[in-house]
Structure 1
Amino acid sequence: MVISLLQSLKLHKDKLWSIDCAKGLAATASSDRKIKLINLRNSDFKELEELDDNTHKKSVRSVCFRPHSSILAAGSFDSTISIWGKEENDDLQGTYQETEPLAIIEGHENEVKSVAWSHSGDFLASCSRDKSVWIWEADEMGEEFECLSVLQEHTQDVKHVVWHPLVNLLASSSYDDTIRLWKEEEDDWECAAVLNGHEGTVWCSDFETSESSLRLVSCSDDSSVRVWKHVEDGEDGEDVWAQESVLPQVHTRAVYCVSWSPDGYIASTGSDGILAVYKENEQGKWEVVAQQTEAHGVFEVNVVKWTKVGGKTLLLSGADDGSVNIWSFSF
């Protein structure tokens, strides 16, 4: 596999924390309090819109598109979550419709670190420095939100939340070195498993897109990338998960983000500025198939995100320099 830089976009004046992609769009979030929308369908990757930076008083830490919709959720260090949307318009060559604020969600007592929509779009999860994970039920328009559960079993700052792309299973990653998996049991949300093994803050995790098995990749301050697998349903709602693999050592410092593509590739990046791509071989062993050092020069890289546009696989990365790099691959 050969990795190539298609374009570098200087979008923000401060650290870029989060990227999400949907329907040929990319959204970015930054410490400059701005959210940017980018058109990925054209080769110039034009910036389409800057969302109102007066909505949040502090850094925007996370963005996530609602599935099957143009609605966007953004979590901020000001302890709130903003919801943005517009009328459906798939033709970005036509008249572009501005994105408008739909709602502000309050509840967390400290910085919101991550937001994530469930695969159905019915639920929004958020997590915070207040050590909690909240699950919200959203109406169809994205204007009304009801808190269904406040999950407080992590003992430290919760860094990241992500839903499985096919089922209602939520993973949360924490400063307490663990990953917790949550599922609904009898109209309540409960912890189904605790994954122990990392020896430092777990910054991020991501699920494999698969109906035949449940697997999760995670990354940590301990510079490792690990794959976990659901082994069996346990008693009393607790499931059995096991560490399946530790991926080949690439990173020399904290790994901040991992992304598992629908094609089966895993990408990782972190404070050492390295961008790595892994693939599982026929024997079930993970191999490094691409590696880019100094992916954003001397800057730490905070996020990687796979997306497909027009049948082409792209990988987006964002860093402390406020830029998004768009990478392509020759397989």
Structure 2
Amino acid sequence: MPIELLKSLRLHKDKLWSLDCSKGLMATASSDRKIKLVNLQNLDFKLVEELDDSTHKKSVRSVSFRPNSSILAAGSFDSTISIWGKDDSDPLDNPETDLLAIIEGHENEVKGVAWSHSGEFLASCSRDKSVWIWEADELGEEYECLSVLQEHSQDVKHVVWHPNMNLLASSSYDDTIRLWKEDADDWECAAVLNGHEGTVWCSDFEKSEASLRLVSCSDDATVRVWKYVEEGEDGEDIWTLDAILPNIHSRAVYSVNWSSHGYIASAGSDGILAVYKEVEQGNWEVVAQQNEAHSVFEVNMVKWTRVGDKDLILTGGDDGFANVWCFTP
């Protein structure tokens, strides 16, 4: 079996919305307002720390580690973003994580946060229909808002950066994905991807340095791959639909993640965890499928990571569990 359940971790008493990994740590966020840190090294899976649940007044919806760092950003339904950090010399041996900053600005629930590849920028998105781009200092304690992007017509669900470019994708309740890039000290919409017939919950860039492809998922139960073609005459970038992946899901797909070795994982409200492989350009097949990945509960998040020589898929569900799956190609 390509997917094997290694560990099922009961971390939260309510929905587990989001998770991320860095330097051997996994962070999880939940409707119970808690953020948990778990040791992934040596497949230990022990709880390292529980961050102060009095910091946010409502659900913590999204977490994101600054690249190659233990600095963590957390977006909440209370409209704020908290920034946490600890000694990077050995974060697993340091039990103390400090609250470095609280960022305010959004007028409604913060649905997503994401760091750029360099750690210079933090993006956030909200139910207030906006995407904000913040510039962070080296210590992660000071934040300046560089741009407020308000071209989505509905709730913005998710933001993600390209792995080695200052290119940002945002996914929205308005059924679109927008791509943003810096131009003349400001940020502008570089492209709008249309095609989904429902809320776009999540997107993720291919990890190849030379690639400009993006995978997305939606309420329409589809997973789609888009690719950059060229810059248009009007200055906007031209992207095209590269593939619609095999129809595995029967209901909304909430999360997609593109692994560093080329596989795509998806998960959603039908409880299915699926893994896809590209067999030739634009032609994908399902290589693994796990039904009821969180029993009868919806799966809100899927994330690839690597520990030692093992490729792991992390999932978070409405049951409050983080499940750790081993994937064998």
Report the Cα offset of residue 237 of structure 1. 3.3
Q: Which residue of 2 aligns with 1:258?
A: 256
Change (3 A) 1:231 1:289: same
Rounded Cα–Cα distance in structure 1 between residues aligned with 2:98 and 2:234? 44
3-state SS, counterpart of residue 18 of structure 1: strand
Q: 2:283 is matched with which residue: 285, 292, 311?
A: 285
Report the Cα offset of residue 42 of structure 1. 2.8
Structure 1 vs Structure 2 CA RMSD: 1.0
Change (3 A) 1:91 1:220: closer
Q: Which residue of 2 aligns with 1:123?
A: 121
Moved more, 41-50 or 297-306: 41-50
Q: How does 1:199-218 map to 2 (within 5 A)?
A: 199-218=197-216
**Deviation digits for residues 3-37 of structure 1 (CA, Å, limit 9, x no counterpart):** 10000000000000001011111100000000000
TM-score (norm 2): 0.98
3-state SS, counterpart of residue 168 of structure 2: strand
Kindly indicate whether the alpha-carbon contact (under 8 Å) linking 1:72 and 1:85 is maintained by their aligned counterparts in 2: yes
- Letter in structure 2 aligned against 1:60: V
User: What percent identity do the matched residue pairs reach?
Assistant: 79
3-state SS, counterpart of residue 240 of structure 1: strand
User: Which structure 2 residue ranges, 5 or more long, are not aligned?
Assistant: none
Report the Cα offset of residue 90 of structure 1. 3.2
2:32 is the counterpart of 1:28: no
Q: Which residue of 1 aligns with 2:15?
A: 15
Report the Cα offset of residue 91 of structure 1. 6.8
2:19 is the counterpart of 1:39: no
Report the Cα offset of residue 87 of structure 1. 1.1
Rounded Cα–Cα distance in structure 2 between residues aligned with 1:122 and 1:283? 34
- Letter in structure 1 aligned against 2:64: C
Rounded Cα–Cα distance in structure 2 between residues aligned with 1:213 and 1:321? 36
Kindly indicate whether the alpha-carbon contact (under 8 Å) linking 1:33 and 1:59 is maintained by their aligned counterparts in 2: yes
- Letter in structure 2 aligned against 1:263: H
**Deviation digits for residues 15-72 of structure 1 (CA, Å, limit 9, x no counterpart):** 0000101111110000000000010013331010000000000000000000121100
Moved more, 131-140 or 211-220: 211-220
Kindly indicate whether the alpha-carbon contact (under 8 Å) linking 2:28 and 2:36 is maintained by their aligned counterparts in 1: yes
- Letter in structure 1 aligned against 2:148: V
**Deviation digits for residues 92-111 of structure 1 (CA, Å, limit 9, x no counterpart):** 3xx33311100000000000
Q: Which residue of 2 aligns with 1:323?
A: 321
User: Which structure 1 residue ranges, 5 or more long, are not aligned?
Assistant: none
Report the Cα offset of residue 283 of structure 1. 5.2
2:78 is the counterpart of 1:78: yes
Q: Which residue of 2 aligns with 1:53?
A: 53
Moved more, 228-237 or 114-123: 228-237
- Letter in structure 2 aligned against 1:6: L
Rounded Cα–Cα distance in structure 2 between residues aligned with 1:213 and 1:27? 28
Q: Which residue of 2 aligns with 1:162?
A: 160
Report the Cα offset of residue 284 of structure 1. 4.0
Q: Which residue of 1 aligns with 2:180?
A: 182
Change (3 A) 1:75 1:91: closer
Rounded Cα–Cα distance in structure 1 between residues aligned with 2:211 and 2:74? 30
Q: Which residue of 2 aligns with 1:219?
A: 217
Kindly indicate whether the alpha-carbon contact (under 8 Å) linking 1:102 and 1:142 is maintained by their aligned counterparts in 2: yes
Aligned length: 329
Rounded Cα–Cα distance in structure 2 between residues aligned with 1:89 and 1:189? 34
Rounded Cα–Cα distance in structure 2 between residues aligned with 1:27 and 1:2? 25
Q: How does 1:84-123 map to 2 (within 5 A)?
A: 84-90=84-90, 92=92, 95-123=93-121
3-state SS, counterpart of residue 237 of structure 1: coil
Q: Which residue of 2 aligns with 1:5?
A: 5
Moved more, 282-291 or 134-143: 282-291
Kindly indicate whether the alpha-carbon contact (under 8 Å) linking 1:81 and 1:106 is maintained by their aligned counterparts in 2: yes
- Letter in structure 1 aligned against 2:14: D
**Deviation digits for residues 158-215 of structure 1 (CA, Å, limit 9, x no counterpart):** 0000000110000000000000000001111000000000000000000001222200
- Letter in structure 2 aligned against 1:45: F
Kindly indicate whether the alpha-carbon contact (under 8 Å) linking 1:87 and 1:97 is maintained by their aligned counterparts in 2: no
Q: Which residue of 2 aligns with 1:150?
A: 148
